[in-house]
A and B are shown apart, each in its own frame.
Chain A
Amino acid sequence: MHTDARRVEAGDIPASTSWPVELKSVSVTYPNGTKALQDVSLRIEPGEMVSIVGLSGSGKSTLIRTINGLVQATDGTVTVGPHEITGLSGRRLREARGHIGMIFQGFNLAERTDVFHNVLVGRFAHSSPFRTLLGLPTKADRELALRALDSVGMLEKVWARANALSGGQKQRVAIARALTQQPSIMLADEPVASLDPPTAHGVMRDLRRINGERGLTVLINIHLMDLARQYTTRMIGLRDGAVVYDGPAGAATDADFEQIYGRPIQSDDTLDARA
């Protein structure tokens, strides 16, 4: 606690060590019979910046949600750092999730709550439920939240209600919420799909900066090929719940994308063509 406070004063949020992710023969079948993932195996090293590419319905969202246990794998094992997510439930799953940050396409902020309390959600797993109930965050939690907001340039909006923010600002607050967890890995599920092109680039730059400065493992679901090429170093292609591409992102050719999508490239597969 004491050292944390001092590092906070030094101006950065103390990042925990970065974690690897390993999936071994992971399959997910939903109760309605949909096979969302089929026998997916992959390993992501600590500090990698990975994009997961595929059409909607290809299993991207399911894949990223098996990593923090929001979706339980029906088969296979998911290991994140020291935790085998597939074997966890209850308190121990919540503890593991506390180290896994996540941002969403729809931002998932509590719209009627102010930015400060939305960001404090990131401290849930790290603070006593008693304090949360009384609405009394510790001084260290408060500092972490404010530093995280400052690092995404949203500190001046700390007392604004979430529904008063623009889309790009909301996603920045969501990033601050995830950073407040002091995560060891960052998941992003279509983080820019609801944003206009300049804002989308801004959010992608934020994610790249987090990866670069903190050495944090970052996984981004995305269907826009130009953003995947420009901002990530490794690309995993999904089609019908199976991995069909795994290689460097920058060097991925249009043909590679056509193979992942299973159809010719269209104009709305790139952000800049839409703009």
Chain B
Amino acid sequence: MTTGELAVPARPTNRFRTALIVAAFVAFTVATCIPAIGGIDLDVGAIVRNWRNGAGKMLQLLQPNFAFLPRTWAPMLETLQMALVGAVASAIVSVPITLWAASPTNPNSWTRITVRTLVNIVRSVPDLVFATVLVAMVGVGALPGVLTLFLFNIGIVVKLVSEAIDSSDHGYMEAGHAAGGTQLQINRVTALPQTWPLFANQWLYTLELNVRISAILGIVGAGGIGRILDERRAFYAYGDVSVIILEILVVVILIEIMSNLLRKRLV
């Protein structure tokens, strides 16, 4: 090893980029501070004036009424059923749509762009809007909830998995084409096993998500634990509300633990 001065090349600097970042930071700060051009008018004083109102409710929430628990079993079961049915139905339908939406598995740009546009439209509608509209269309109950979860899950799975397929290595496709295979044959025999872990990962994620979302959907009449949550809140029965919230928490954690265990076995 020589001991002289090392001839380290000058580190490249990019003044233009630095200036751009500083400018963006300043612009962002200004924009968020001026209500007239997009900033939000926050009145922090309201917290000081009103905190006593909330404190009363918090105290009630801290005294969960466990006697109410048996009445939540049936709605909670309905929520779990909605989550599962929504996740399974969307999982099945998501496979062909995803392969349609990814460029390695669908070289035809017209059908690909059409499928992607439709999925993006579905994705851009908030889940509560779907639920509200579907409740009006098919009536109050679990059905609008399941349909909402189904549409919501399709959007997630197709978007995330098709992008993962786009960015993954697919040399095996070239071999399939070289052997004279149709795209459908190549997808079925090689692309499907290859992308299966990507799918399974997202399917498990939608199951977790569904339990959380379906707890809220009941508020607009789409069945499940959310409906009873909304009902107890309307009666100011905060002891019951707190029991329901705790129950949702426990169920969500259990589902997450289960799906993490499954996920470890996937790779």
Interface set of A (CB-CB < 8 Å, partner B) = 68, 70, 93-98, 100-102, 104, 106-113, 117-118, 120-122, 124-125, 129, 132-133, 135, 174, 177-178, 181, 187
Given A110-B190, A112-B193, A117-B189, the answer on whether A125 and B175 have CB atoms closer than 8 Å is: no
Question: Which residues of A have CB within 8 Å of B196?
Answer: 112
- Of all A-B residue pairs in the complex, the 9 with the closest CB atoms, nearest first, are A125-B180, A124-B181, A97-B180, A98-B180, A110-B190, A108-B175, A94-B180, A108-B171, A110-B172
How far is it, in angstroms, between the C-alpha of A11 and the C-alpha of B206 when the chains are bound?
51
* A129 contact from B174, B176, B185, Cβ within 8 A: B185
Are A113 and B193 also in contact (CB < 8 A) when A104-B171, A104-B174, A108-B172 are? yes
Contact for B179 among A106, A113, A121, A133, CB less than 8 A: A121
Cross-interface CB contact of B184 among A118, A129, A178, A187, cutoff 8 Å: A129
Chain B residues within 8 Å of A181, by CB: 179-180
Taking a contact as CB atoms under 8 Å apart, the answer to whether A94 and B181 are in contact is yes
Residues on the B chain within 8 Å of A117, using CB: 189-190, 193
Contacts of A98 in B (CB 8 A): 179-180
CA A85 – CA B83 in complex, angstroms?
Answer: 53
Q: In this assembly, does B178 line the interface, its C-beta being within 8 Å of a C-beta of chain A?
A: yes
Inter-chain contact B176/A133, CB cutoff 8 Å:
no
- Does B186 count as interface, using CB distance less than 8 angstroms? yes
Q: In the bound complex, how far is the Cα of B194 from the Cα of A263, in angstroms?
A: 43
Instruction: Please name all residues of chain B whose beta carbon is closer than 8 Å to the beta carbon of A101 when the two chains form the complex.
Output: 179
Residues in B neighbouring A112, C-beta threshold 8 A: 193-194, 196-197
**With A132-B185, A133-B188 as contacts: A121 and B175 at CB distance below 8 Å:** yes
Interface residue? B263 (CB, 8 A): no
Q: B19-40: which have CB < 8 Å to A?
A: none
A57 CB, min distance to chain B CBs, angstroms: 19
Given contacts A106-B171, A110-B194, contact A97 B178 (CB under 8 A): yes
Give the A-binding residues of B (Cβ under 8 A). Answer: 171-172, 174-182, 184-186, 188-191, 193-194, 196-197
Residues of A within 8 A of B188 (CB): 132-133, 135
B190 touches A121 (CB 8 A): yes
Q: Is the interface of B mostly helix, strand, loop or mixed?
A: helix
Additional 15 contacts, C-beta under 8 A, given A125-B180, A177-B179: A68-B178, A93-B180, A94-B182, A95-B180, A106-B171, A108-B174, A110-B190, A113-B194, A121-B181, A124-B180, A124-B185, A124-B189, A129-B185, A133-B188, A135-B188
Q: Closest chain B residue to A91 by CB distance?
A: B182
- Assess A111 versus B194: contact at CB under 8 Å? Given A104-B171, A121-B189, A124-B186: yes
Residues of B within 8 A of A118 (CB): 172, 190
Contact A113 B190 (CB under 8 A): yes
In Å, the complex CA distance between A238 and B182 comes to 32
B-chain residues with CB within 8 Å of residue A111 when the two chains form the complex = 172, 194
Are A70 and B189 within 8 A (Cβ)? no
Q: List 22 A-B contacts (CB under 8 A).
A: A70-B174, A94-B180, A96-B180, A97-B180, A98-B180, A102-B178, A108-B172, A109-B172, A110-B190, A111-B172, A117-B193, A120-B189, A121-B176, A124-B180, A124-B185, A124-B189, A125-B179, A125-B181, A132-B185, A133-B184, A133-B188, A187-B178
- What's the least CB distance linking B171 to chain A, in Å? 4
Q: How far is the CA of A6 from the CA of B172 in the complex (A)?
A: 32
In the complex, what distance in Å separates the CA atom of A97 from the CA atom of B182? 11
Nearest B residue to A109 by beta-carbon distance? B172
Distance of A128 Cα from B240 Cα, bound (Å):
62
| C-alpha spacing A129/B186, complex, angstroms | 10
Per the bound structure, the CA–CA distance linking A111 and B191 in Å amounts to: 10
Residues of A within 8 A of B177 (CB): 70, 97
Residues of A within 8 A of B191 (CB): 110
- A133–B178 CA distance with the chains assembled, in angstroms: 19
Cross-chain contact A124 with B182 (CB below 8 angstroms)? yes
Roughly how many angstroms separate A117 CA and B188 CA in the complex, as a whole number?
11
Shortest beta-carbon distance from A245 to chain B in Å: 27
Smallest CB gap from B191: residue in A: A110
- Please name all residues of chain A whose beta carbon is closer than 8 Å to the beta carbon of B175 when the two chains form the complex: 102, 104, 108-109, 121, 174, 177
B267 to chain A, nearest CB (A): 10
Q: Which residues of A contact B186 (CB under 8 A)?
A: 121, 124
Q: Most B CB atoms within 10 A — which of A108, A111, A118? A: A108
**Residues of the B chain whose Cβ atoms lie less than 8 Å from the Cβ of A100:** 178, 180
> What residues of chain A lie closer than 8 Å to B197, measured between beta carbons?
112
In the complex, are the beta carbons of A97 and B171 less than 8 A apart?
no
Closest residue of chain A to B184, judged by CB? A129
> In the complex, what residue of chain B is closest to A97 when comparing beta carbons?
B180
Q: How far is the CA of A129 from the CA of B178 in the complex (A)?
A: 16
